[in-house]
Amino acid sequence: MPDPLWPLRELWLARQLARAQRGDRDAFRQLYRALYPVVWRFVRRRAQSDAAAEELLGQVFFQLLEALPRIDPSRGVRGYVLTIARNALVDEARRTQRAAPGELAEQQASLQPGALELLTTAEETARLGKQLATLPEQTREWLLLRFEDGLRFAEIAQLTGASEAAVRQRVSRAVRELRGNWPEELRREFGAP
């Protein structure tokens, strides 16, 4: 679920980043503590294992530290860090693909809805998983970024290089399409048309 306090948190992150750029080590520690859970969720959902996620997480924060002087705090700190994480995941996937291409393709094809399991039965979850699998890969990823990682449309746009309007439109359309295929009782419960 998207964070309703996002603008305040982003402002706080920008201030911590600016302080860290001036050499304040405590500010970087604060950034690390605030961003760790967000980056961990993002990386862990996409990594092959906890160990791989931990290694990638270390890379992300090391790259953040290296890039610190060049980061513009006004452009969105969380989005910037998640872009670093996405790039690290892509690099890791390329290394893994060279090692075992068939294995990686299988992992990318499987889609686990995660948080939706709490709202639906196993059968409904399986049905939703099949519906999600029919969506284009980019749309599935944007849905996961929005509802699993809790990113705002602007952050998804920053992360993926698409326009905010395109992200908003595609995600909204996909949600309407998915809700249209829900059983009647589920649609009534969640206010879907």
* pLDDT tens per residue across span 42-55: 898 888 888 888 99
pLDDT, greater one: 125 or 173: 173
Distance CA 104, CA 68 (A): 32
- The pLDDT > 70 percentage for the chain reads 74
Q: What's the pLDDT at 70?
A: 92
* 3-state secondary structure string across the chain: CCCCCHHHHHHHHHHHHHHHHCCCHHHHHHHHHHHHHHHHHHHHHHCCCHHHHHHHHHHHHHHHHHHHHHCCHHHCHHHHHHHHHHHHHHHHHHHHHHHCHHHHHHHHHCCCCHHHHHCCCHHHHHHHHHHHHHCCHHHHHHHHHHHHCCCCHHHHHHHHCCCHHHHHHHHHHHHHHHHHCCCHHHHHHCCCC
Q: Does the global pTM surpass 0.85?
A: no
Q: What is the mean pLDDT of residues 119-146?
A: 74
pLDDT, greater one: 6 or 36: 36
